[in-house]
Amino acid sequence: MSTPVTKGSQSTDFPWWLIFLGLVFTFVTFVIVTNDLYSQIINVLGKGVWITIFVTLFGFASASAVGLGLAVMSLSGSLIMRQVARFYIEVIRGIPILVLLFYIAFVGAPGFVWFWNFITSPLVDAGIVEPMRMRDFSLLWRSIIALTIGYSAFIAEVFRAGIQAVDVGQIEAAKAMGLGRILRFRLIILPQAIRTILPPLGNDFVAMVKDSSLVSVLGVADITQMGKVYAAGSFRFFETYSIVAYIYLIMTITLSIGLRGLEKRMRSKWS
């Protein structure tokens, strides 16, 4: 019978998988550099990398802000705020991200444009402002809004769990010292909650990098969309999508290793 793997032995495992992966990446990189076709594909896809990075960073930052607000609302003393937050979280978590993208792009955005034109109609009639048109609301921003809405519900649960993990005694001590709600949250609750939420929050960030590829269904020129266009024109599907997967793997694995290192550093700092 094999000996069970303990938590301590797992932490001291040599990362052979990383060595193997590094060798594979090195070989693939050599092939890309020395092959004109792969070099051409990587140059085409490189134009979509910045769109992917922008969508991910902006979408995750805004989703984290909304998620933190929802978490605070769900733990509020107000029944109405708790119920509103719970309603939002449960409904949004039940909708697939792809469906949410389509809904925001083709239902939510036209609805917002109509509403904006309705409330600004007196200004439009007076010639002060121009009416908003659908083309003024780019598909890129519709995609970012959809990802923000979709991920904010999941991130809200991460923040809520982290806040509830803080020792109640420390919160009571802060109250006894006369700290108000905002100061208690900023100085006592949030710094300790970060210990709990950092790993799942990092996982959500890596997941958003991958889910950002869904914006290609709206024609946003990210990595996946650029690959789709190139493959459709050249019929080089194997080569193109191999490079697409290669780029995403580099991004996600680099992020995962960086986040793991950050977790260890913060854990040693707090211990």
Say what the pTM is.
Answer: 0.86
Please write the tens of the pLDDT for every residue from 8-21. Answer: 555 567 778 888 88
Residue 2 has what pLDDT?
52
Amino acid at the residue 14: F
| CA atoms of 197 and 259, how far apart (whole Å) | 12
Res 65: pLDDT:
95
- Residue 76 pLDDT more than 90? no
For the record, the structure tokens of 5 come out as 């793997």
Average pLDDT over residues 167-171: 77
Distance CA 124, CA 246 (A): 50
- For residue 7, is pLDDT > 70? no
The better pLDDT of the pair 31, 92 is held by 92
Helices (H), 6-35: 7-11, 16-34
Q: Is the pLDDT of residue 92 over 70?
A: yes
- Residue 4 above 70 pLDDT? no
Where residue 258 falls among pLDDT bands split at 50, 70, 90? confident
pLDDT for residue 191: 79
Cα–Cα distances in angstroms (integers) from residue 99 to residues 5, 105, 255, in the given order: 41, 10, 27
Helix (H) or strand (E) holding 250: helix 237-270
Tokens, residue 206: 């890596």
Tracing tokens 């070989």 back to the chain, one arrives at 27
Nearest to 245 by CA among 42, 98, 50: 42
The CB-based long-range contact list for 108-117 (8 Å cut-off, 24+ gap) reads: 108/142, 108/145, 109/134, 109/137, 109/142, 110/134, 112/137, 113/137
Q: How does DSSP assign 32-87, residue by residue?
A: HHH-HHHHHHHHHHHHHHHHHHHHHHHHHHHHHHHHHHHHHHHTSS-HHHHHHHHH
Ordered structural domains, the chain, with CATH: 58-196 (1.10.3720.10)
Percent of the chain with pLDDT over 90: 48
Rounded distance between C-alpha atoms, residue 248 and residue 243, angstroms: 9
pLDDT reading at 171 higher than 80? no
- Cα(133)–Cα(135) distance, rounded to whole angstroms? 5
Evaluate if residue 115 carries a pLDDT over 70.
yes
Q: What is the mean pLDDT of residues 68-82?
A: 91
Lowest mean pLDDT among 99-113, 176-190, 193-207: 176-190
- What are the CA-CA distances from residue 18 to residues 236, 253, 257 (Å)? 30, 10, 10
Per-chain mean pLDDT for the chain: 87
pLDDT of residue 204: 93
User: Cα separation of 159 and 198, whole Å?
Assistant: 10
Low-confidence winner among 28-37, 89-98, 122-131 (lowest mean pLDDT): 122-131
244, 245, 251, 255 alpha-carbon torsion, rounded to 10°: 160
pLDDT for residue 251? 92
Number of Cβ atoms within 10 Å of the Cβ of 205: 21
Instruction: Give me the pLDDT at residue 127, please.
Output: 79
